Structure 1
Amino acid sequence: MTGQRADDQTRSVNRAVTILTRSTEALVHATDEYDLLDDICRIGAEVAGYRLTWIGYARPAPGKLVMPIASAGTALDYLDRIEVSWGEGESGDGPTGVAIRSGQPCIVSDTEADPRFAPWRDAAREYGFRSTIALPIGEGEARIGALMFYSEQPNAFDPLTVRLLTGIAGNLAHGISALRMKARHDQTARELAESEERYRSLIEMAPDAILVHSHGTILFANPASSEVFGAGPDVTLVGRPLLDMVHDESRTMAISRIAEPPPGPYLGQYKLVGLDGRIFDAEVTACAITFRGMAARLLTIRDITERTQAQDQMLQTAKLATLGEMAAGLVHELSQPLNIIRLASEGALMLIERGKATAEWQAQQFQLVAEQSERAAEIIDDIRIFSRRDATPLQVFDAMDSVKSAIDVLSGQLKPDGITIELTPPHRASPVRGRRVQLEQVVMNLLNNAHHALKDVKGGMPRDWNGKISVSARHDSNQLLIRIVDNGPGIPDAIRARIFEPFFTTKEAGRGTGLGLSVSFTLIATMGGHLQALASDSGAAFVIQLPLAHEMQPFPASLPPCAPSHGAFGNAHVLVVDDETAAAESLGHYLKALGCRVSVAGTGEEAWSLFSSDPADVVITDLRMPAGNGEELVEKLRDFDPLQPIIIVTGHLGATERIADSLQDDRCAVLKKPLALGTLGEIIAEFLQPPAE
């Protein structure tokens, strides 16, 4: 018996050594976790000769079952007949459950005698098992399961064999950990590669220009950038200064953003220039990234020229709608100075005829006529500025100038309806960045809405009730808050939630387009601000919030021109062109009094004929005339002599800006009607000076 026992022990050790050697080879060559488990089980069964080898993974609560993951041997059906747990209880008290819970090998030397094996004894007897060992895989919280060997001999697992098999389980745990780590790495690498490919495809296929720059130098540009910036197929944007593609209008803001990038994502609008010279409006989204190991900025640039044009059209529609609503009030505003002019002039004529008009009194009346003409000119100028398409560049201006201008236009319309308006300005200048006319439009829209609300409600109020609009402004840190409040019926909560929607209006048909507040909201947003309707117990309340700019651009001061004295122009020849005979003759008399030789024409064709036969030193022409208008005449004069002094006088609202942009230079001036003679005289005197060489 002693010799037989020694032989059995020798065979057992040889088995363990064989498994250890072959399993080590399997671990070295393993590339997949489950293939490795299968190899270990196959080595235990086929090479070492164990009746059954299997590996089970511990599942979490509540069941805490041990699920077979890999197995090999002649008794595989055994696993289908048993249930093993690593929790407390009969099914968890076997060698597998104890090994997983304790982290120590658990040996059943004789399945017929060990009470812990009672639940599985019959099945073990049927499949020829007499001893078994369960070895934990992993340590502590990293313990994932157990490795089990079953032998047909009792007492098959002596201490030396146990040490060898424990080494196999330990190596297996390290192998599984390494394979899982490699699998995670491979998965991360695949996901990263897929992500890079996905984002590369998105960037390459994106219709918007995507640039990466560092300190203003372009490091990367996607294919769409070439199309957006008008670069040819052989022209690269990489390496170019970003500022080369920024229009002068947006350059200051771009330089500031490059020098001090704002934290977090940034969205702004810029005017850009393509390599082909095309100027376009762009929406730019920027964020910080790391590019090739250096700090950089990622820019997404979208050409919004068409959208801007559509917005401009909507803005213009809203302006004209506002002007239509204001028409009656504007007629009243213009009627007042015209009425004073007529009364003063007819009264003066009557007293002159009767010989009762002293020279001093006549001078007073003419001064009154001049002042009222200037008043009418200011009203017309406000309408002209408000109604034109605003293509002026962004600038820093005092917001309160826009507020006061809007109040000046509308205050005359409020008085007949018994509505007063009060302005409480801040104690210092309020510089903001944007377009002055657009802020004026917003304030005018809000005041106009308040006017309508107060006018409509007045009929149901006591006789002593009067409408009131309060406009106040204050600085709050780096923000300007403009508050416009009325004492009308207010805005219901349900309506207040929708008032900034396009085409939403509560006015009856014919009195509103529903664009005013929507356009106002957009205009304030483009200035980096916010327009909000506040809840109020009495009346409507709106707040315009705008970021304050750091500095204000100075506007040139203008001094009232002085009329030149008699004989100031020598015998200079001035050609006056106007289809209004009275205007032309009055102007001719003024110029003759200054010593000029004057020719008068009523059409552009007549003027060109006179000029061809007797060229004038200065030409003063209207624009809108029959038989060859002023624009055609100006073109002919410029073709004849590019330095010909020309003064264009017009009352056409749209032409003033258009002609000024295309023709005005140091030898051509554009003046608006009604004309100030002093200003005209100063310009003629300047034009008659010899040109600077």
Structure 2
Amino acid sequence: MEPKDTFKQESEFLNAVLDTAGAMILVLDPKGRVVRFNSACEQLMACTYPEVRGKPVWTLFPNEEDAEFLRTAFNDPGEHEFPVEFEQHWNLPDGRYRKVLWSNRTLRDGNGEIEFIVGTGWDITDRHRVEKDLSRANRALKTLSKCNRALFKGADEQDFLTHVCDIIVNQGGYRMAWVGYAEHDEKKTVRPVAQAGYEDGFLESISVTWADTALGQGPTGKAIRSGKPYVRRNIIIDPDGSPWREEVLQRGYASSISLPLKAEGQTFGALGIYAKDPDAFDREELKLLSVLADSLSFGVVAIRNRAQRRQAEAELRQRTKDLERTVRELNCFYAISNLVEENDVFLDKILQGTAELIPTALRFPEKACARITVQGQSFQTSGFRDTPWKHTEELLVNSERVGILELAYREGIPEILDEPYSIFEKNLIRAIAQRLVKIMERAQSALVLRTSEKWASAGKLAAGVAHSVLNPLTSVKMRLFSLTESLKVTPSQKEDFEVISEEIRRIDTILKNFLEFTRTPKPKPQLLSPSTVVDKTIELLRHRLESGGVEVHISREEPLPPMRIDPDQLKEVLVNLLINALEALVGGGRIEIRELESVHERLGRVAVIEVSDNGPGVPESFRERIFQPFFSTKEEGTGLGLSILSRIIEEHGGTVDLDSREGEGASFRVTLPFNESMY
């Protein structure tokens, strides 16, 4: 056989081998021009060998990056070595996508120069797809695992949903994820509640609804209505008429899926996921994401159940606290009622007992203390002191303050409390204050009734005394006078008669004072300044005071304003006080009368007259009884003078008080209100 024929046969054999090879074989010269091109290449590149022979290889690659990569490798050999292996993306004219792995070898001549470059290409599209599907499945599985773990972190519903969306984007590699709840309003709105990823105002720019209207034809609306997942595989070429397709494309979303969220068979929302690549949700990934949506639904229900359970537990705790508070309050009121029943009109014991009971009704009884002040007298728990944690309530009678109820914590309250006293405790203290006012009014009424009964009895007694004693006493006085005039008596007998006569006069004075005490007339008020009565009384007693060596000094800036008083009764009060002071100042002394206007806690605007002396004072043991009838510090006294003046001042609506320390003199303070009812 001729050598020429042999070469031809070998060439044809080699071409047959190349064309039947499963791999793509591409032979290039050192300049990158096509020298050989087998049929596998023709099928992939959709061109024939004669069409590409002698053309630079980079002109055959449709991908700009791949073409530039090869052009640079051949045109700048000094800086770039020809790649031994690289992957290339191939988009076929029919829209199919292929991925090729090229392996390149150089053939050199005897001088070591590159003579040919042989490229062998394998279609790895299917393998790449399997790897990609596996990667997606692993990614979805990891996303599902992390979302399940998020369920057990104890977050609230909003945090849980946001965290899951964040995991879907960061772990799953998706472009955006969001959760919407189906509202049951007229428009059947889908309300966004959580989102993560690149959103750029997307959710605000759309009006999602699950109603079967034009705005409800998006994936979310369809998923909620049908209760099934809805996938858009390629939004770029998908003709589906979604109302927000342009908004979706502007944000680089190429595919999406909406998965229904269900509870007890009812769809309550949807999970929407957007990807940057087309066809991002294959069958296996759809299954895993459906499981994720089910887990998300379960998590929402579990969190709501936990929240409902916590709310129920909180309500139970609150009801228990309310019940305990109610029991404390009832016990307190019951104990106060017992105090009233046991002590009746003994107001001091009631007030003291109430002060001790109040802390027991509070949340922190061991730290609480209380004080009740009525007309200057205090009733308090042991260790009471003013603190920053204090609450007060006024005791009001006919809108006039007669006292105050104070509550304080000796130590700081727990830091969790913004206000030391709850609204219930404030209401309790207010109710106790109102109860105390009623108790005081009841006690005062009872005292007035008892006093009236006593005076009525005393009046009857006085009338009986007048009939049974004064008449015989008058006869004795007359007989004594007759005997004194008719008999000649010795000086000793005369002295005895004088003693008898003096004692008869003393008995007569006692009986007359007693009658006056029981029959004190009602005041006959006149509009007059009390200062005028003071001046007239001093003038009346001036000679007697001077004879006793007593100096009287009046302290007044100006006369007291006119007020409705009975001048005769007020003069009787002042005479009594001045005579008592005179009798206390044995050997002389000083009496000071001080006049002023003031405001009384209970009586309001008042006139005050103080009569003070620098005598021996009143012993402490006498002070509480000084105004009681028939109590006297003098052997010859009747014990009715101060009782009478006390009744006179009370009839004027005022008060009379004693301030004295033994050895430091005594001061009687007469307080008269500018009472409109006296006009």
Shorter-chain TM-score tier? 0.3 to 0.5
The structure number with the bigger radius of gyration is 2
Per the normalisation by structure 1, the TM-score is 0.35
Per the normalisation by structure 2, the TM-score is 0.36
